Structure 1
Amino acid sequence: MNVFLTVFDDLAGILDRTFLDDYTLIDKDLLEYVCSFLASFEEVIEGLSCDKKPTIYKVLPLRQYLINQCKIHPDDHDGIRQIKTFI
């Protein structure tokens, strides 16, 4: 997930001019918040993606974990609030 943050600053030099305008509109702070927020979902996906043993018993606790992660907090970035509201 953090690959976006890792390559963010390097993209400006390799993007086609037509995409450069869109790239400059990206709020890097919001990107950091989104990557951090989505890390919870990545953890859950990895936790449920076991090939050798059943993971159905993990579904309800992990669902509740994600619901808790989607609660809106007063210090949340506006973009994160919109994502949490949508989810």
Structure 2
Amino acid sequence: MFRTLPAYYRSLPKKLSSKLVEIDGNGASREEIAKAMSGESGLRIGMLEGNKVVGYITVGTGITPIKEIRTVKAVINDLMQDFS
């Protein structure tokens, strides 16, 4: 199933991607697809609650420089080095 999905649905959870493929195939509008994506298995669950199994996250090219996950304290300390 995964390889048969359109490229723009492949990175989404299987349940959500299957639903989107179905409504897209039935001629859903962009608004209807957006509404389905923001429903109970959407962006909020993935981005804000951290549940990437049910929801999804979005990233842009700005994620490329990230090489490690750091604590907020470590990031603030690095930013404040010039002011010490």
TM-score range, shorter chain: 0.3 to 0.5
Give the TM-score of the pair, scaled to structure 1. Answer: 0.32
Greater helix share, structure number: 1
Which protein is bigger by CA-based radius of gyration? 2
Give the TM-score of the pair, scaled to structure 2. Answer: 0.32
